[in-house]
Structure 1
Amino acid sequence: MDTPPAGLAPHATLPRHYADPAQRDRFVRGLFDGGAASYDRINAVFSFGSGARYRREALLRSGLAPGQRLLDVATGTGLVAREALAVLGRPQDVIGLDLSGGMLREARAALPIPLVQARAEALPLASESVDLVSMGYALRHVADLVRTFAEYRRVLRPGGRVLLLEIDQPSSPVALAALRFYLGRVVPVLSRWIAGRGRSQQMMEYFWDTIDACVPPEAIQGALAEAGFTDIGCEVQLGIFRAYRARRPDATP
């Protein structure tokens, strides 16, 4: 399949954080480098219980099983990769990839898996080399959804699947206001208290701002379809946690 046209950013430029789309990668890399050391502690505050069990069950529902090979994009400190390793058993069957060298250093201290520093839009993997691509709470940080998903399709074997875990705005105005207050104000302040100086507070402010500005679920599913995926679906829990799933079609006979 030819690379589909670019053109769907997950959200508009956020002037509060960077002035031009061309600055996005540098900003995101620096932000997560600066907050990497305290990320796991902060994650425990804002995860709402969406911890190891939720991630592992999401992987299992996506068909992950021993003997397969998984690529975890935007692996961060390796929270999704740890659960994948628990399922697959062999470190060589889980590959972690992230733009942030700081995050990869944290992951390397906890996981014996191969780790790669690269962009989601340009994966340094062979075509048709993995069975599942996972991405945990990070699709808002790429430059173009269609181009990213096209790369996922390229590296997946025929019949392979993609799993995208995300946080979305709840439909209830009251719930949205509560979530905006908690993730947009409380968590950034708590992050500074937990981590002290550094960029942890800004990292959490950016986290909420990207959720608040993110394209709707229908656009994400449309980008998956444009990139060539089928069997596209989305599972919602607690009104805010979304697990997008899609499948690369089998090879044409």
Structure 2
Amino acid sequence: MKRDEAGAAPPHGVLRDYYADAPDRQRFVQDLFDRTAGAYDPINNALALGSGGWYRRQALRRAGLAPGMRLLDVAVGTGAVSREAVRILGRPGDVVGLDLSAGMLAVARRNLPIPLLQAEAEAIPLADASVDFVSMGYALRHAGDLRALFTEFRRVLRPGGRVLLLEIARPEGRLALRAARFWLGRVVPAASRLFGRRAALLMRYYWDTIEQCVPPAEILRHLREAGFAEVGCDVQLGVMRAYSARKPG
């Protein structure tokens, strides 16, 4: 388990090609997403090859999201997961989005009429037991402390509430890793230059966080240690991971 000097459990170690130390990570990430918010959806749509919305919607349903629930979408970004949640729940007011990046929130605000909060994922400004479902789409690697993150998720969930974490994991096989390193680590950043230098930097950082992230078993263990039950992980195409868990009722 990787820990910083304060005893936290970050999803990966310090990436010195991008920032100097753990305290500087949040400033770097916030600035990077602020500056690339306008290009994020076109890049993301190209990566998803048209299946992004369908995959998110099916993952939410499999994890138990149903009408009548209230969902908190942590690291809402431009609203990709929230958009599918609204389609399932039927009412935009039942979805709350949270993000640290003002740039991402500005795009989300144009995309969806849902309540939005600017805050850290490890310090959610909601009351205890106030939501039925917590989602997080492809942002676990940008958190500072998995232990604090999952403790907050458990705090804001009502008894029986559910968590869904969508992520991309480092491929386990040598050939698969080599192919992913070439595609996500070289081709995608190069193609992203069409949207500017910062967009290319974002995609390089995106791959490096995937490659350096703690293995899926560590994420599952942190969920259990935070007090969650029914912890599991659905795997698609070897790299697409949908972690799910339930707060005991």
TM-score bracket, normalised by the shorter chain, equals over 0.9
Aligned to 1:119: 120
* Number of equivalenced pairs: 244
Higher relative contact order (CA 8 A, sep 6+): 1
Aligned to 1:86: 87
Q: Which runs of 5+ in 1 are unaligned?
A: none
Report the 3-state secondary structure (helix = DSSP H, G, I; strand = E; otherwise coil) of the residue aligned with 1:14.
coil
CA RMSD of the aligned region, Å?
1.1
In 2, Cα distance between the equivalents of 1:41 and 1:218? 32
Shift of 1:216: 0.4
Deviates more, 1:42-51 or 1:219-228: 42-51
Contact 1:28 1:141 in 2 (8 A): yes
Report the 3-state secondary structure (helix = DSSP H, G, I; strand = E; otherwise coil) of the residue aligned with 2:20.
coil
Aligned to 2:24: 23
Shift of 1:188: 0.7
Q: Which runs of 5+ in 2 are unaligned?
A: 1-5
1:178 is the counterpart of 2:172? no
Identity %: 61
In 1, Cα distance between the equivalents of 2:226 and 2:7? 10
Give the TM-score normalised by the residue count of structure 2: 0.96
Q: Which amino acid aligns with 1:98?
A: D
Shift of 1:45: 2.0
Q: Which amino acid aligns with 1:20?
A: D
Shift of 1:7: 2.2
1:139 is the counterpart of 2:140? yes
Aligned to 2:3: none
Aligned to 1:207: 206
Query: Where does 1:26-37 land on structure 2 (aligned, <5 Å)?
Result: 26-37=27-38
In 2, Cα distance between the equivalents of 1:150 and 1:248? 11
The change in CA–CA distance for 1:221 and 1:128 in structure 2 (over 3 A counts) is same
Report the 3-state secondary structure (helix = DSSP H, G, I; strand = E; otherwise coil) of the residue aligned with 2:242.
strand
Contact 1:80 1:136 in 2 (8 A): yes
Deviation string 1:115-152 (CA, Å, 9 cap, x unpaired) is 11111000000110101000000000011001100000
Report the 3-state secondary structure (helix = DSSP H, G, I; strand = E; otherwise coil) of the residue aligned with 1:199.
helix
Report the 3-state secondary structure (helix = DSSP H, G, I; strand = E; otherwise coil) of the residue aligned with 2:160.
strand
Shift of 1:50: 4.3
In 1, Cα distance between the equivalents of 2:110 and 2:247? 33
Point out 4+ residue stretches in structure 1 off by more than 3 angstroms. Answer: none
Report the 3-state secondary structure (helix = DSSP H, G, I; strand = E; otherwise coil) of the residue aligned with 1:121.
coil
Q: Which amino acid aligns with 2:29?
A: V
In 1, Cα distance between the equivalents of 2:41 and 2:107? 9
Q: Which amino acid aligns with 1:240?
A: V
Report the 3-state secondary structure (helix = DSSP H, G, I; strand = E; otherwise coil) of the residue aligned with 2:13.
coil
Aligned to 2:41: 40
Query: Where does 1:1-253 land on structure 2 (aligned, <5 Å)?
Result: 7-193=8-194, 195=195, 197-250=196-249
